[in-house]
Structure 1
Amino acid sequence: MKKVAALATLLTLTSALAAAPKDTLVYQMSSDIPTMDPGVTYDTASGAVVENIYETLLTYSGASLTKLEPLLATKWTISNGGKTYTFDLRKGVKFHSGNAMTCADAEYTFERNLVTNSAESGNWFLAESLLGTGANAADDKTITWARIDKAVECNNAGQLVFTLPSVDPAFLAKLAFPGQSVVDQKHAAGLGEWNGKEATWKDWVGKDLTNSKLSQNPSGTGAYKLVRKDANTVLATAFDSYWGKKPALKNVIFQKVSEIAARQQAFLRGDADIIDGGGRAVDTEQVKGKPGVLWVDNLPNTSATAFFMNENIKNAGLLGSGKLDGRGIPATFFKDANVRRAFSYSFNYDQYIRDVQKGAGKQRTMLLPESFPGYDAKVSTYTYDKAKAEAFFKRAYGGQLWKNGFTLTTNYRAGSEPSQKAMEILKANVEALNPKFRVNIQAKQWSEMLKDSKDGKEAMTIMGWAPDYADPDNFMYTFYSSNGYYNPRLNWKDSQIDKWLDQARATVNTAERNRLYSLVGKKAYEQAPYILVPAGVGYTFVSANLVGVSASNYNPMISFANTGTFWKELSKK
């Protein structure tokens, strides 16, 4: 009780922007923490906490995106033609509740994720591996308890065994995702969560775990345990019974501070060790080069962003007349590849890099980070070319588009200056080609855009993707497959690309996968389903007193505040 009281006092002081103590890490964030339940962790804010109070079977080795090393597992073997994975688990590991971690906890964790699976939870890609479908039992009636139970089991030797219906070259990388962290079964069941039994599993199918009792009272095996959480603050402290090396920092405090100016002031005073920045232009002007600031630049950018051109717009409100008569567009406006190519040549990529990314940007050849296997730098790219844009517009719809003109209405994420600027660049260049061309752009709330785009109701949007796991499949299938996560947002299909992507999923031969992804990139360039937005060069900044953040150990798959490292690896001078 005395320890909790002392920590509560510390929390109060730090919330009032008292100087951050040497044994305490203070991070000021711009958003809240949606959940602390690993079973529904699917955003970076939640992941920044979950990945530190819970642990996965394996993790990334240092800064590598391709090398994995044991964490709660000690080793693993692959057999049965790549369809069976057997894990030896670490002994002597305790949960924050005091319960000992056993194989039964790991089995419960993955069965729970398969049972509660939903598109919002991120467990869809685990289900793809273990059940052969990303659906749950409510959406796919062929999913039974027997299938779930068989997919993950503990054998007589206490080893955890996964049995896949087919080869999945990305399976190990998926297990490093924070949402696959091992959960304390006894603790969870005691709170009223699913008890892991067949008799009750149907009651939990697809259940939203965001505000679960486990989220409110987590129990992981991580180096830090939760002490307190409210709407604006999270307080965690080092776990005395942690199985690994004792962390240098005793306490970690997250504070929600919405205003960027307030975060900047606290950071420059030394009241916060890390803050959410405001983008490269803002951070360069307000923070870079100031006393007490460590700026780390030229970091890998592992997200990908694009304009989506929807080939079946299911929203009459965006179609105007619904015809190619200058006053609107048909729902299938972007189905003509010449339209997509014309728009791709109309975007000024260099201007975007110069004005929005302040010169720190790079045009990619594919919607795949260049640090990932499978990226082919030799694939052709579009450039801003007025003559080619005009030529393709004149070819579109047998010349009718150029003759009659069109009015296109597009939405961008409200409050996103990069998205607004990108839309303005495209609008200006398209309208300059023909006085009969009109592009109307308007801001829209992000939550509404997410829903409407998923339902195919946006004509053109700008959206990005950050990886769930470090495998090219997570980008290539997501963006380019007609069965991919993003397909309902653009309704584009190429049967040859689908075939190549399925082949890449069915082999563990890296060279063959790379060849197939290169073919996808080349065909996608030809078909132009997206306009690829240049990728910004990654950077981060922290207090100069903080030790452990550097380019050499930065791993972009670690969520915490763009530091690329775990809390337990940080210390202070």
Structure 2
Amino acid sequence: MTYRTATLLLSLALSAPPALAATPNDTLVIQQAAGISTLDPSATYDTFSAQMVENIYETLWTYKGSSLTLMTPLLASTLPTYTNGGKTLVVSLRPGVKFHSGNTMSCADAEYTYRRDLVTNSPDSANWFISDALLGSTQNAHDNKSVTWAKIAGAVKCNAQGQLVFTLAKVDPAFMAKMTFAGMGVIDKQWAVKQGEWDGSEKTWQAWIGKDLSGSPLSLRPSGTGAYTLVRSDATGVFLRAFSDYWGAKPSIKNVVMQKVGELAVRQQAFLRGDADLIEVGTRANVEAQLKDKPGVVVLDNLPTTSAQALFMNNDITPSPALGSGKLDGQGIPPNFFSDVNIRKAFALSFDDGTFIKGVQSGKGSPRTMLLPDSFPGYSAQTKTYPFDVAAATTYFKKAWGGEVWSKGFVINARYRTGHTLGQTALELLKQNVEAINPKFRINIGVEPWSEQSVKFQKGEEVMLPMGWSADYADPDNFMYTFYSSKGYFYASNHWKDAQVDQWLDQARATTDAARRSQLYKQVADRAYQQSVFVVLPADLNIRAVRSNLQGVSAATYNPMRSFSFTGTFLRELSKR
């Protein structure tokens, strides 16, 4: 098939996803419920964008095979080692690497990349976690006046030998892991400046502080070093083509199409026909009922997971129509409804882990004590959990808000993301149990696209939200700080704050003593249990469905830190027969 024919076929595929023909061997078709937010690495912070970005751009190093702790060089020629008491890394770069633009990668590109991350750092990007390591602050220069150009330039710079030098503001046990995140891919400086991006100079840096890059020129016209280059991106999906000058082994898959297909049933039918090679499959129960043992389908089960799921209860909801009446009068709820710990405990006791594990996880789940994968160091198996207990839940509902909740009732408007079947099921199960306790209790469940939900929860407008987190980097800090710190990414969605917890989390970030870190994380988990901060959903093992002719996917090669593509591998490692 010629390139022109392939381009025409794939262009039609993007615009009309349900009407595909079976995919050719040099083409991979992925269908998922949500589209992408950006193709700019500096703005990438969601799974769907990272799925494409990690194949267009490349980081300095990545995980080795299926390991969550061992690293291997990527754009670095060798793995660096710490000097200066654990605060300096000197990185030698791989020579002769080409960007998609044709430019040759140099240290200046890497220097520009990470300085740009620090300059544009915002709560909507992943750059806060490297800013914290390199500058000693998660905030940008507008929000923290201690962040200066001198600090940024001193933290990331090229030496006389053309090596990239990172100088950390403090010891950070997770820094190497942080740098594997897909959004840390090296940017083509010359190309970026040509597109109208920041020129990398001290003279202009202030105009770019905290700038929203999600729709940047670089998002529309990226130039990375990855195995795939962008052909087209729009609201219907993304089309990538193999990069002919890729420095590594040439990929067998020449064309990659990601299609946005909201309906699970439509994705399933395309997958079963062979019109899609990989899809967002929904829950385990759905895979086992609809896809397992079907012709042309291989199901990989019992795969490791690096994610955590919970139902968030917002303690300080920003006024919006979701509050209904905005009062405790049976027609809505006040903004601080969940600030009463009795309410939070009542909801935790109303969730039936056993039914969820049996119905959604086919019996393979287990109650989780905290929002940290149990495969990670620091997980506390000794922390208590809330059982499903209707009588105890009733007692707490009667205590809440001095008895007014029980006498007046409430209406909660909860939302889940389009395609988030697990979250939908969790809400439906909770609704059934809560409404059975008191006829005055009502939970309305609705659906909204990720593009809308991501904005609402950052504004604090979501009331009760099922939300998951997949690790950006394989270190417990990524979960514990993200979920439990008042400076963490999810604070806007639950507004729970505890000064002692914040202190424990900061202490855990400042030590390389693994035993001490685990002790601190247990203290956080125990406090979160006492305060019933979240309804923590049971842990699950990953399950994946792939077409039987897709090669390069197996339990032995699956790395949950590279699961954006649903395969646990880079797309360049796949082939079809």
Q: TM-score, normalised by structure 2?
A: 0.90
1:412 aligns with 2:438: no
Contact 2:485 2:497 in 1 (8 A): yes
Tell me how far apart the structure 1 counterparts of residues 390 and 236 of structure 2 sit (CA, whole Å): 50
User: C-alpha displacement at 1:543, in angstroms?
Assistant: 1.1
The structural deviation recorded for 1:404 is 3.9
Q: Where do residues 308-323 of structure 1 align in structure 2 (5 Å cutoff)?
A: 308-315=312-319, 318=323, 320=325, 322=327
Q: How does 1:289-368 map to 2 (within 5 A)?
A: 289-315=293-319, 318=323, 320=325, 322=327, 331-368=335-372
1:401 is displaced (CA, Å) by 4.9
1:172 equivalent in alignment to 2:171 = no
**Mapped contact 1:65–1:372 kept (Cα < 8 A):** no
**2:531: which partner in 1?**
527
The alpha-carbon deviation at position 12 of structure 1 amounts to 5.2
Which residue of the partner structure matches residue 69 of structure 2?
66
**Which has the larger displacement, 183-192 or 301-310?**
301-310
Which shows bigger deviation, 180-189 or 131-140?
A: 131-140
Task: Give the corresponding residue for 1:241.
Answer: 245
Partner Cα distance (1:413, 1:473) in 2: 26
Q: Report how far residue 433 of structure 1 moved.
A: 3.9
In 2: Cα distance, 1:291 partner to 1:175 partner: 40
Query: In the alignment, which residue of structure 1 is the partner of 2:29?
Result: 26
Change (3 A) 1:60 1:101: same
Residues 334 and 196 of structure 1: is their aligned pair in 2 closer, same or farther, counting only changes over 3 Å?
Answer: same
Distance in structure 2 (CA, Å) of the matches to 1:345 and 1:141: 45
Distance 2:243 2:455 in 1: 40
- Cα deviation 1:508-533 (Å, max 9, x = unaligned): 12222122112211221122111112
Shift of 1:454: 3.3
What is the Cα deviation at residue 571 of structure 1?
Answer: 1.6
Alignment counterpart, residue 35 of structure 1, candidates 38, 45, 49: 38
Q: In structure 1, what is the Cα distance between the partners aligned to 2:384 and 2:28?
A: 45
Distance 1:288 1:403, change over 3 A: closer
Opposite residue 148 of structure 2, the aligned amino acid is T
Contact 2:283–2:421 under 8 Å retained in 1: no
Query: How big is the shift at 1:387?
Result: 2.9
Instruction: State the distance in 1 between where 2:466 and 2:210 align.
Output: 29
Q: Determine whether 1:119 maps to 2:118.
A: no
Aligned to 1:11: 10
2:468 aligns to what SS in structure 1? strand
CA distance, structure 1, for counterparts of residue 310 and residue 526 of structure 2: 17
Change (3 A) 1:452 1:19: closer
Q: CA 1:20 to 1:495, structure 2 compared with 1: closer, same or farther past 3 Å?
A: same
Determine the structure 2 residue equivalent to 1:438. Answer: 441
1:384 aligned onto 2:405: no
Q: Which residue of 2 aligns with 1:49?
A: 52
Q: State which drifts further: 124-133 or 101-110.
A: 124-133
CA distance 1:141–1:284, shift in 2 (3 Å): same
**Which runs of 5 or more structure 2 residues have no equivalent in the other structure?**
none
Q: Matched residues in 1 for 2:359 and 2:489: separation?
A: 31
The residue number in structure 1 matching 2:100 is: 96
Per the alignment, in what secondary structure is the counterpart of residue 75 of structure 1? coil
Match of 1:473 in 2: 477
Counterpart code for 1:11: L
2:203 is paired with a residue whose SS is helix
Residue deviations 1:220-276 (CA, integer Å, cap 9, x gap): 111222334444353333333322223233333334444444433333333332223
- Report how many residues are paired: 569
Conserved 8 A contact 1:319-1:331? no
- Give the whole-Å Cα distance in 1 for the aligned partners of 2:325 and 2:269: 48
In 2, the alpha carbon distance for the partners of 1:360 and 1:570 equals 28
CA contact (8 A) 2:330 2:411 kept: no
Whether the 8 Å contact between 1:4 and 1:227 is mirrored in structure 2 is: no
Q: Give the superposition deviation at 1:289.
A: 0.9
State the alpha-carbon separation in 2 of the partners of residues 556 and 203 from structure 1: 38
Residue 294 of structure 1 aligns to a residue whose secondary structure is strand
What is the CA–CA distance in structure 2 between the aligned matches of 1:378 and 1:28, rounded to whole Å? Answer: 40
Q: Is the 8 A contact 2:222 2:230 kept in 1?
A: yes
Cα gap change, 1:328 to 1:23, in 2 (>3 Å): closer
Does the aligned pair in 2 maintain the 1:410–1:461 contact within 8 Å? Answer: no
Please, which runs of 5 or more residues in structure 1 have no aligned partner? Answer: none
SS in 2 for 1:5: helix
The 2-side partners of 1:421 and 1:531 are apart by 14
Match for 1:569 among 541, 552, 573? 573
**Runs of 4 or more consecutive aligned structure 1 residues displaced over 6 Å after TM superposition:** 13-16, 325-328
Amino acid at match of 1:141: K
Range with greater deviation from structure 2 (92-101 or 261-270): 261-270
Q: Measured at CA, do residues 489 and 273 of structure 1 come closer, stay the same or move farther in structure 2, by a change above 3 Å?
A: closer
* Counterpart residue identity of residue 99, structure 1: N
Question: How far apart are 1:375 and its partner, in Å?
Answer: 1.2
The question of whether the paired residues in 1 share the 8 Å contact of 2:397 and 2:406 is answered with no
1:540-555 residue pairs with structure 2 within 5 A? Answer: 540-555=544-559
Q: 2:283 touches 2:360 (CA, 8 Å); kept in 1?
A: no
Cα-to-partner distance string for 1:374-415 (whole Å, 9 max, x where unaligned): 112222111101233234445555x63587454252422265
Shift, 1:122, TM fit: 2.0
Give the equivalent residue in structure 1 for 2:521.
517
Between the aligned partners of 2:39 and 2:278, the Cα distance in structure 1 is 21
Give secondary structure in 2 for the equivalent of 1:531: strand
Opposite residue 253 of structure 1, the aligned amino acid is V
SS at match of 2:371: coil
Aligned partners of 1:148, 1:110: CA distance in 2, in Å?
9
Alpha-carbon spacing, 1:384–1:160, altered in 2? closer, same or farther (3 Å):
same
* Cα distance in 1, alignment partners of residues 466 and 239 from structure 2: 35
> CA–CA distance in 2 between the matches of 1:131 and 1:30?
37
Amino acid at match of 1:58: W
Q: Give, in angstroms, the shift of residue 351 of structure 1.
A: 1.7
Partner residue of 1:491? 495
